[in-house]
């Protein structure tokens, strides 16, 4: 079955002249996917072009696919893992990441009033095995037009604070997942995927201020 994903035209996010465009990370409040922007969202085919769609979403830079990017934390640590050769996004193979999550699909519609939060929670259940209390909050947004992956995606970054360290990955295409200190992650910095570099830079700079 051909996957459909939630996307918003670039002009609907950043304006006709890219006047609202930003690069890197912006905290929630300085940029937001508000109701007006979400009304402009559509589900389009991710990897094929059919039913009148000119290009697959992965090749159409007029659209930004919305990604729920979830950072798992416990006390002074952040969950970090490596993407293996079986990962769905071939352009990110062998990179380390501090974000889990993925595309928003039609299956996420109608379960709860908050489509973005519903997608985030589904991705957490699919990708992570964890038992215990947790609480989430939105941190901000990532826009990175420096590469082919970033040019067709916009990241909605959540933090999921875990009550214990008993967390591991479910998915076989992900590997070497564990909670790490910022210092341990920094040692892998050059091997982090771009979005994780952007998120890490924000966390490192604001760790105490944002209440981790």
User: Residue 59: inside a domain, yes or no?
Assistant: yes
Tokens of 184: 């341990």
Tell me how far the alpha carbon of residue 78 is from its chain's centroid.
Answer: 15
Q: pLDDT by residue (tens digit) across 64-74?
A: 999 999 999 99
Into how many domains does the chain fold? Answer: 1
Helices (H) and strands (E) in the chain, counts: 5, 12
Q: Which residue has the tokens 């905290």?
A: 27
Name the average pLDDT for the chain.
89
Element (H, E) at 167: strand 167-169
Domain containing 115: what range? Answer: 4-206
User: Residue 212: inside a domain, yes or no?
Assistant: no
User: Residue 71: inside a domain, yes or no?
Assistant: yes
Q: Are 6 and 41 in contact (CB under 8 A)?
A: yes
Q: pLDDT by residue (tens digit) across 39-71?
A: 899 999 999 999 999 999 999 999 999 999 999
Mean pLDDT to the nearest integer, 13-40? 92
User: Residue 74: inside a domain, yes or no?
Assistant: yes
Q: pLDDT by residue (tens digit) across 161-175?
A: 999 999 999 876 667
pTM of the model: 0.89
17: region left, alpha or beta (phi > 0 left; psi from -120 to 50 alpha): alpha
pLDDT at 154 over 70: yes
Give the total residue count for the chain.
Answer: 212
User: Residue 82: inside a domain, yes or no?
Assistant: yes
User: Residue 202: inside a domain, yes or no?
Assistant: yes
User: Residue 211: inside a domain, yes or no?
Assistant: no
CATH classification of the domain holding 18: 3.90.79.10
Strand 77-83 and strand 63-74: the pairing is antiparallel
């Amino acid at each position: 079955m051909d996957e459909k994903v939630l996307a918003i035209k670039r002009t609907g996010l950043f304006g006709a002249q890219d006047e609202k465009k930003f690069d890197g990370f912006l905290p929630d409040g300085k940029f937001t996917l508000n109701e007006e922007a979400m009304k402009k969202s559509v589900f389009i085919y991710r990897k094929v072009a059919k039913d009148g769609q000119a290009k697959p979403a992965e090749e159409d830079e007029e659209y930004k696919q919305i990604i729920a990017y979830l950072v798992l934390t416990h006390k002074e640590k952040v969950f970090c893992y490596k993407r293996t050769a079986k990962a769905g996004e071939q352009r990110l193979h062998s990179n380390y990441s501090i974000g889990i999550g993925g595309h928003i699909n039609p299956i996420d519609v109608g379960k709860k009033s908050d489509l973005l939060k519903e997608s985030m929670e589904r991705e957490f259940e699919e990708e992570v095995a964890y038992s215990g209390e947790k609480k989430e909050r939105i941190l901000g947004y990532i826009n990175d037009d420096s590469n082919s992956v970033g040019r067709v995606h916009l990241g909605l970054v959540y933090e999921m604070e875990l009550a214990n360290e008993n967390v591991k990955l479910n998915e076989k295409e992900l590997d070497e997942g564990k909670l790490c200190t910022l210092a341990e992650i920094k040692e892998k910095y050059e091997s982090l995927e771009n979005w994780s570099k952007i998120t890490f830079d924000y966390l490192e700079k604001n760790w105490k201020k944002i209440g981790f």
